[in-house]
Amino acid sequence: MIKPKHLRAALALGLVLLLLAPSASRADATPTHYVAPTGADSGDCGDSNNPCRTVQYALDQAGSGDTVKVAAGTYTGSGTEVVNIAKNITLLGGYAPPDWTTSNPQANTTILDGQNARRVILIASNTAVTLEGLQIVNGWGGGLSASYCAIVLTHNLFRDNSAYGGADLYECAATVTYNTFERNTSESGGGMDVTWGDLTLSHNTFLNNTATRYGGGLKTGGIGAGHTYSITHNIFQGNVASATRSGYGGGARVTSTSGATVVISNNQFLQNVASSSTTTDTDGGRGGGLYMIGPATISDNLFQDNWGATANNIPGYGGGLFLYGASQIQGNRILGNRAALNAGSNYTLEAFGGGVFVYEGSSVTMQNNIIAGNGYCANCNWNSNAEWYRGGGAVAVRGGYSASPPNTQLSLYHNTIADNQSSAVLNKYGASLSMSHNILSGHNFDLTNVRTDNGVCPTTSADYTLWFPARDVLVRDTKNQCAAPTTTHDFTGDPAFTASPSSSPDFRSLRDFGSLASAADNYHLGVTSAAIDKGPGVGVTTDIDGNPRPAGAAYDLGADEYSNVNLATSTKSASPLEANLGETVTFTIVLRNTGASNSTNTALTDAIPAHTTYVPGSATATSGTVGDTNGISWTGTVVPNQPVTITFQVTVNQAVVVKNTAVITDGNGVVLNRDALVNAKRMYLPLVAK
């Protein structure tokens, strides 16, 4: 695809508004067109009993705004692409004639196959297109290429597409939900490459995609002022940014500019690699899970087992995250990441920031994160020279090298930093690091300052810190020009960590429709924790689980605020998970209290979901008071280790995905939402490797 270089982002937004305006397209007597492998290309494909044979022929017959339904089968082409869409179209797969009403792409696979000879789908400018229930495979030149359009992608599979990856979008208003991008390759954005425009990316899976430099799973670029990228509830697993050179963003590389809105939340970044090459250039691997440039809010994600670089003698920076710009990092679990495998034995190659690396010129605030079990180098031995070239098992921040370094600021508030490779937090060159209300546990060295050869010194201050087993700070400065980190209001004692409960169903379970589970991080506070009620607070009023602070006489240190009431393991489920019209569905809510005290004055509200009818008198509860006026309600006490079960029934009256949400409030004001979904449409759900 040839991309325009000099048009502004505002043009794309105006284009989308134009596309969505009423048009003067022809009145179409057959607005739905049908395709099946047994069909013949004649007429306008409007007779469901006599479908056409090829997708392209049906598209050519369709008018603007029409729908093309495609039966199960494999469809190929002979030109430069299998399908060329040049009008407003809805293209749907997953049908089994003579049933053209119910789409089930998982059972009825509709495959558009580029045969490794051509692009699969090309979408022209000035179009509004929806693609649903398709398998887009073996595209040479990419699976999908689109520019200056409004596009909706849902419940599709992009697999084994090369050269331009699974999908390449430029200046589009894109909504991308419930798709799987697997084993695609590209120079940038192996799974998906998105530039300019606006993006909603939700509940997708990026699995084992590879780029040659940027963004193994996802690459975005040029997010202009006034534009929004929302990246939520996705899985990025096993992606590689580069196998041949330096790589940036194994799971994803995202760049934004001032005035843009970028939200990256409730995703899982698992086992991604920035660079697996043995012959990279000097940049090595940067951002195994995520490489972020520019302003963003990064919240409530799981970064686990990602790598910056996986080859010997290759530098690595930020196994979990590489940050450059102004970012808010909050509520994340950053666990078991590595910046490098082995950065050499002569201490000339660098390995920094096993969990997080903050680059010079950045302004980053991190709060309510659990950063545990990370390392800057998997196979490196530490000695007195090591801190010049490696360090920051949990977090490393690097300021400028010159005598007038750029302003680099990292603030750490209410983080739990535990059991990382030492030194755990490293401040290098001319950066300013401010810390308050943190836990630092299980390290030989907790904080380290390292100066440059020309005397540029970092500054580090830590206030209200729990150290365990002892306070350990270090300065690397052979000329004795720089000060060691300063600490005030120090506490020493056992944080008494305990495992955190899972607060929702397994994200990778097909039947859960993509709900995100809290990782079992083992770093919540136990009842005997020395972190409880130790601080005056720094304006952070919730903890990593969304529970209010303070819960006691004062603020707890670290990411977790201890409470004797904990309803986080409460669940909601539906039976059956797939239902037909008129079928009865039972919703079950189980309230569980894993705390030490009774949860008194607990309340539950549950609106009857749309497209269903409540079965009168079906609401029951094993204790407390249940009502069914204007929805389901319940009040009562949840005793530790004595679950309360609430059930009610509905009848499905429309073929849709039914979503039902229970809102639970405990006596301390903690609010939890628990969802259950029923597939009454029998839509395709992407399979995810577990």
Overall domain count for the chain: 3
Q: What is the DSSP letter of 420?
A: P
Q: Are residues 288 and 336 in the same domain?
A: yes
- For position 451, what pLDDT does the model report? 84
Half-sphere exposure of 199 (CA within 13 A, CB side): 33
Q: Are residues 114 and 164 in the same domain?
A: yes
User: Going by C-beta distance under 8 Å and a sequence separation of 6 or more, which residues neighbour residue 412?
Assistant: 366, 367, 395, 425, 433, 434, 435, 436, 438
Q: Does some domain include residue 43?
A: yes
Q: Are residues 594 and 651 in the same domain?
A: yes
Residue-wise DSSP of 166-234:
SEEEES-EEEEES-EEES-EEEE-SSEEEESSEEEEES-EEES-EEEEE-SSEEEE-B-TT-EEEEES-
d(CA 88, CA 84) in angstroms, rounded, equals 12
- For position 9, what pLDDT does the model report? 38
Counted residue by residue, the chain has a size of: 690
Positive or negative: CA dihedral 342, 348, 349, 355: positive
- For position 548, what pLDDT does the model report? 86
Q: Are residues 300 and 438 in the same domain?
A: yes
- For position 444, what pLDDT does the model report? 87
Q: At 87, which helix (H) or strand (E)?
A: none
Q: Does some domain include residue 502?
A: no
Domain span at residue 115?
1-177
| Angle at the Cα of 522 from the Cα atoms of 519 and 527, rounded to 5 degrees | 130
How far is residue 597 CA from its own chain's centroid? Answer: 34
Q: Are residues 313 and 406 in the same domain?
A: yes
Q: Does some domain include residue 637?
A: yes
Q: Are residues 225 and 275 in the same domain?
A: yes
- For position 385, what pLDDT does the model report? 57
Q: Are residues 488 and 623 in the same domain?
A: no
Q: Are residues 576 and 553 in the same domain?
A: no
Q: Are residues 122 and 160 in the same domain?
A: yes
Q: At 508, which helix (H) or strand (E)?
A: none
Q: Does some domain include residue 474?
A: yes
- For position 658, what pLDDT does the model report? 92
User: Mean pLDDT in runs of 10 for the chain (690 residues)?
Assistant: 38 42 42 97 96 98 97 96 98 98 96 98 98 98 97 98 97 97 97 96 98 97 89 98 96 93 97 93 93 97 97 94 97 96 76 96 97 92 65 94 84 97 92 97 91 83 96 78 90 88 30 34 88 97 90 93 88 93 95 86 94 96 95 95 96 91 85 90 44
Q: What is the CATH number of the domain that holds 615?
A: 2.60.40.740
Q: Are residues 433 and 306 in the same domain?
A: yes
- For position 477, what pLDDT does the model report? 72
Q: Are residues 623 and 544 in the same domain?
A: no
